[in-house]
A and B are shown apart, each in its own frame.
Chain A
């Protein structure tokens, strides 16, 4: 766990803390640079006013260039100097922004991934994977724009606004008030349009998700669509969603596109009003109210008009981003929710250690000995008792429900002695998979107790508990990398030879050896280039390398041809040898060879015993076995 100085409470707080933690010096320096640079770009109005003043008074006095040129040149020189300074700063902070923006995004991505890795399985079972993915794509992208563009620009424009505002006050308070009143109006309009647009865009996001889901489903079933000549219906369904998407997207774009011309031209109208008012003030000769105390002059009005333009331009820029900010904050909040999720809890204290046995007494060993022991910390500091890892798993009156209102397993009591094979049989939804979810604590039980070698599994550190349990699931998941990498996934300490030996043991070696690159064949897309049976063999080899005393297996139901099925079956049998095995069985041969068969129905064990006993009972198992039901 990383130490955090202070846990941020809001999404945006987190974002800025993340940037600040990554760049404690660069971030404030950059902010300062942006402010200075913005300040400088607000200044030209002052110089313009000065130069115009020199020109106007010079003209009225009939002075020529030789008299005025020097003063004008000095103003221009100072201005130029400031500009050079500002350029240097801008070049620096632009680079800094690029580095910080990407760097802090990386930090946030990494934080997000690290948090996600430590979430309980429940999170993944209850959230759509597409939604989780969109945190990494859409929402991070919103944040990228926010950090690298919107926030720096807003800071820049905000600073200019403040500077220009004070310069305006310096020259003339009444005219400044006109500009401010107009700007408030502009902002209101912009906010209205901006938020309406972003509301449509957010609705759009929802339809995008629906559209992706629809395409995915139809493409996976495209051959069925063809066989049933269902093309027109499939298209009609798609057009329906696509049109909803279009509707929202059109409205969103309309509002977003209209915003700029609307606000910018409101700025032009304010400009006219200021020009008109300035002219009136000049002609009527009414007194000026200003911080400088200077009276109205042509130069002031002209410079003021320049500032009005600058002011309203910046208002336009800032307000056009309002809608986007709403969206980006929503994105940041979704990411923040993910990283704030409660990670998988682990109160276990019992560890799995290498051990040596001498005269029946276990001792901890720093080396890999092949003998494992559970290390239970004793009462006193530094003491511990050791228990040999054997693979004895017992359930005592276990009840469980994924949600508290609905119990799916009732009072399950069972035991598997070391080396025994326990088969679960029953229809879909009877609770077979649920039982296997409990042994490795993917989910925690609500009632009862599960003991592993006599130790309550809640007391065992999760990492160590899982290391002692192997798992082969129906859906095979391979990772991008070589075949060797994928087998070694079971035990990263395994040598190449050990991996190959495992592959040989489960019968995967022959097909791997036939591939052009053998064990170095690079797999992508969940091993898309391999057949279903081959992928299963790899996942079995992976479990074999891990060499755990207890295995949980879910036999595949997917139809693979008889020959491959035989090979896979042999691989599974090889893996089961000498281990405690919990198997969700779909094949009669597996069931028959089991020491204990548990027939499950509606979350209860309704029959138990070995094959002969259950056949003699002539109950549900008998009916299953004689073919009146399918094993599934």
Chain B
């Protein structure tokens, strides 16, 4: 926790320090006030108007000073803690942006949302407690003890005796309650997860008429969680009576011992005002102890949050820019030199000894069953993952030598699991090229056969795409994604199963447009349908991470069994359908 605070506090160090200084002053002032009050009371007792005025004035000044310190520290601490969480959010999000695909695969979306929101808020709360309370409580305990010693030694000794007792008791309560709370909060998370599941799947629930069943399930989980929280809160509920016990003891003892001292000394060593003040000091000490135990609880509760944040900040991006990057890609040629690849150090290799050389402007088809590593193969070209053995070259240079932005600008990938973002069609297309003119946008859409359906929308290119692209069909989404990639004007264009929802006719039109309009661009097309690749210059058949065959359609039909089988089964189906 301290580490992430040190890391992300930055420009908010100043308000943090101001807060800490001001709360110390505030604590001292708060201790001086009861003392002055005691003086005031003895002035009242002596009916000495002058000293009432003097002490009153001092008290007013102290109150104003305390107000200024209090309000000042309040403002400064608000700036410091919200500033910390602002920086934390930014640091985390920035770190996530630097993640490679390998890093991204590690974290689920909901877990990242929780880390950036709830966890940051928890750390913020703890940090607030730390800077406002942790400094102030010990100062108050020390000062209050010193001040009360000045009033009465006997009564103060009693306080001192009580401090360890209270501290130990509070510590025991905290220790007992913490594991129960942890457990309870986990149950709480589970309960929320199941509510979410229910809301998402409400159609299924209603289809199978399981409202009652779901209610029973929920009630059970809800009861389970309640039982845990009740146990925790019942332990915590001893806190208040414990403190009350101490406060009451302080008051009664102070009254009795105080009265005795006053009378025995004939009001010389102590007066009634002193008793009032000493009671206040006693309460201040006890309250400070209580606050410390609360802070302790809060900090330990937010420890888990802090750890989850650290996990993100400590995650090292596995792919980084080289020290002296190449900023220019010469041409669209691609070379795989004996490449092997695995998704983790201990995982099995998914690509083995791939040796493949592609010329600029060539159109390459890639086919193969599930798990044949088609996607893995093309991921290496734009360095979405790094090879584990051998090397991948684009334009004659190892991809690891290039500046990442440069490489990815020249190698455009249309991912299999593609996403449009909320915003207009234009805004989505401009992801490809922020400076593209409207003509360029339309040209790209013409190539991707997206212009037709866009023009049927009432708002045309300004049609708003909902989050996740739910208001366009699967085929339309794929074509928009292709257009977006075309706008990069890349030297290499990779389509990873990007036309699966597009009909065969349109699919053919798109490929024809590519051939005619992008002769110099190297094109790689992954497809399930043989018809999508059969007119490629060369087709690669992948099987279990190895190249099983390379050649054009006719060659492969003759020489490659896998290719022939897939082709024939698809032909058969087509024939059956037309029968």
Contact = CB atoms under 8 A, between A and B. Distances in A.
B409 A272 contact: no
B53 A133 contact: no
Contacts of B468: 217, 220
Interface stretch (B37-45, B294-302, B517-525): B37-45
A231 interface: yes
Given A59-B266, A110-B218, A492 B213 contact: yes
Given A110-B218, A258-B74, A265-B70, A473 B56 contact: no
B415 A230 contact: no
B564 interface: no
B203 interface: yes
A221 B382 CA distance: 17
Nearest to A628: B505
B520 to A, nearest CB: 21
Interface stretch (B60-68, B329-337, B340-348, B538-546): B60-68
Contact of A217 (B96, B200, B230, B467): B467
- Grouping DSSP codes into helix (H, G, I), strand (E, B) and loop, the B interface class, with mixed when no group exceeds half, is helix
Nearest to A632: B473
A466 B206 contact: yes
B45 A223 contact: no
Given A298-B45, A305-B37, A632-B474, A216 B109 contact: yes
B203 A279 contact: no
Given A136-B192, A215-B116, A229-B404, A102 B229 contact: yes
A276 B208 contact: no
Interface residues of B, number: 154
B63 A268 contact: yes
A236 to B, nearest CB: 10
A51 B566 CA distance: 102
Interface string B498-524: 001111111000000000000000000
B577 A589 contact: yes
A461 to B, nearest CB: 10
Given A99-B234, A215-B116, A257-B75, A68 B252 contact: no
Contacts of A469: 207
B475 A562 contact: no
Interface residues of A, number: 160
B44 A302 contact: yes
B67 A133 contact: no
A366 interface: no
Given A442-B206, A627-B505, A632-B473, A268 B222 contact: no
Nearest to B260: A65
B155 interface: no
A124 interface: yes
Contact of A90 (B199, B241, B471): B241
B202 A121 contact: yes
A106 interface: yes
A363 interface: no
A225 B103 CA distance: 14
B263 A490 contact: no
Nearest to A631: B503
A279 B39 CA distance: 13
A118 B101 CA distance: 42
Given A87-B245, A113-B215, A253-B78, A222 B104 contact: yes
Contact of A257 (B67, B78, B267, B505): B78
A630 B503 contact: yes
A87 B206 contact: no
A614 B236 CA distance: 74
Contact of A276 (B53, B69, B108, B223): B53
Contact of B202 (A72, A87, A124, A222): A124
Contact of A101 (B202, B233, B471): B233
Nearest to B124: A249
Interface in A73-126: 73, 75-76, 79-80, 83, 86-87, 90-91, 94-95, 97-99, 101-103, 105-106, 109-110, 113-114, 116-118, 121, 124
A219 B113 contact: yes
B255 A79 contact: yes
Interface string A375-402: 0000000000000000000000000000
B508 to A, nearest CB: 9
Interface string A279-301: 11011000000000000001101
Interface string B98-122: 1111001000110011001100000
Given A94-B237, A220-B468, A526 B200 contact: yes
Interface string B42-58: 01110101001100100
Interface stretch (B141-149, B418-426, B552-560): B418-426
A332 to B, nearest CB: 18
A353 interface: no
A230 B423 CA distance: 15
B197 A526 contact: yes
B370 A110 contact: no
B209 interface: yes
Interface stretch (B85-93, B354-362, B391-399, B436-444): B85-93
Contact of A102 (B193, B196, B226, B240): B226
A622 interface: no
- Grouping DSSP codes into helix (H, G, I), strand (E, B) and loop, the A interface class, with mixed when no group exceeds half, is helix
A574 interface: no
A44 B256 CA distance: 13
A282 B240 contact: no
Contacts of B369: 561-563
A279 B210 contact: no
B215 A114 contact: yes
A322 B90 CA distance: 33
Contact of A258 (B45, B75, B504): B75
Interface string B169-206: 00000000000000000000001111111111111111
Contact of B44 (A103, A216, A278, A562): A278
A450 interface: no
B71 A262 contact: yes
Nearest to A118: B211
A103 B69 CA distance: 42
Interface in A21-62: 44, 47-48, 51-52, 54-56, 58-59, 62
B104 to A, nearest CB: 5
Contacts of B117: 208, 211-212, 215
B473 A473 contact: no
B252 A76 contact: yes
B248 A83 contact: yes
Contact of A627 (B82, B197, B266, B504): B504
Interface string A232-262: 1011001100110110011111101111111
A555 to B, nearest CB: 11
A302 B272 contact: yes
A261 B75 contact: no
A223 B90 CA distance: 19
A509 B342 CA distance: 30
B81 A272 contact: no
A275 B419 contact: no
Nearest to A243: B86
A559 interface: yes
A463 B97 CA distance: 48
A544 to B, nearest CB: 12
Interface string B264-275: 101100001101
A264 interface: yes
B218 A113 contact: yes
B416 interface: yes
B12 to A, nearest CB: 11
20 contacts: A56-B45, A68-B263, A72-B255, A98-B230, A99-B234, A129-B199, A148-B233, A231-B98, A239-B90, A250-B78, A254-B75, A260-B70, A272-B40, A279-B43, A279-B49, A279-B52, A282-B44, A302-B45, A466-B208, A559-B500
Given A215-B113, A268-B33, 7 more contacts: A80-B248, A132-B199, A265-B67, A269-B63, A271-B59, A279-B44, A526-B200
Q: Considering the complex of A and B, which 7 residue pairs feature the smallest CB-CB distances, nearest first?
A: A261-B70, A257-B74, A477-B201, A253-B78, A627-B505, A221-B419, A98-B233
